[in-house]
Amino acid sequence: MSHTVLVVEDDLDVRQALMEVVEENGFAALGARDGAEALLLLARATELPCVILLDLMMPVMDGASFREAQRRDPRLAPIPVVVLSAYRDVDRHASSLDAVTVLAKPPSVRELVDVLRAHC
């Protein structure tokens, strides 16, 4: 099973912080700054990530649109998605996205690592 985590997050500092947490805990990290870039990365990838950490509010292509496109693609659809959002009521915003986990920002590192371990 792949040990790569795809971090889809528009804020550079948050993306880098998340990627560092991923890497410091023994996984490989790939970063994309919006849904469109993430789809491009996934299209080119020879090995698919074990989990996608997905932000919701992003320019170009937001989290919901990315998830829609991902679910339509049979190759990408099985990759579990963890929604990570700074929305106050993140559960409500993520309710239709069928994510394996929904985490409010800022997530606790332990919580995040537990989720990664469960799926990678």
Partner 1 sequence: MTSSPSEPDIAHPESSDAAGFRSVDERFRALVSSVKDYAIFMLDPSGRIETWNAGAERTKGYTADEIIGEHISRFYTPEDLARGLPAKLLAQARLDGRVESEGWRVRKDGTRFWADVVITALVNDRGELMGYAKVTRDLTERLRAQEEQLRLAHAEEAVRLRDEFLSIAAHELRTPLSAVQLQLQALLERPEGLDPRTRAKVERACRSGERLVTLVDTLLDVSRMTTGSFNLVLSRFDITVAVQEVVDRFREHAIRAGSSVTVRSEGVLEGRWDRLRIEQVVTNLLTNALKYAAGTPVEITLTGTEHDVTMMVSDAGPGIPPSEQERIFLRFERAAPMRNFGGLGLGLYVARQIVEAHGGQIQLAHPVPKGAHFVIRLPRSHSPETAG
Which residues contact partner 1 (rule: CB under 8 A)?
11, 13-14, 16-18, 20-21, 24, 57, 85-88, 91-92, 105-110, 113
Q: How many CB atoms sit inside 10 A of residue 113's CB?
A: 17
Pairing of strands 51-54, 81-85: parallel
Pairing of strands 51-54, 28-32: unpaired
- Cα(14)–Cα(6) distance, integer angstroms: 13
Nearest approach, Cβ of 9 to partner 1 (angstroms)?
9
Nearest approach, Cβ of 56 to partner 1 (angstroms)?
9
Nearest approach, Cβ of 4 to partner 1 (angstroms)?
19
- Report the residue number, 13 or 46, with the smaller CB distance to partner 1: 13
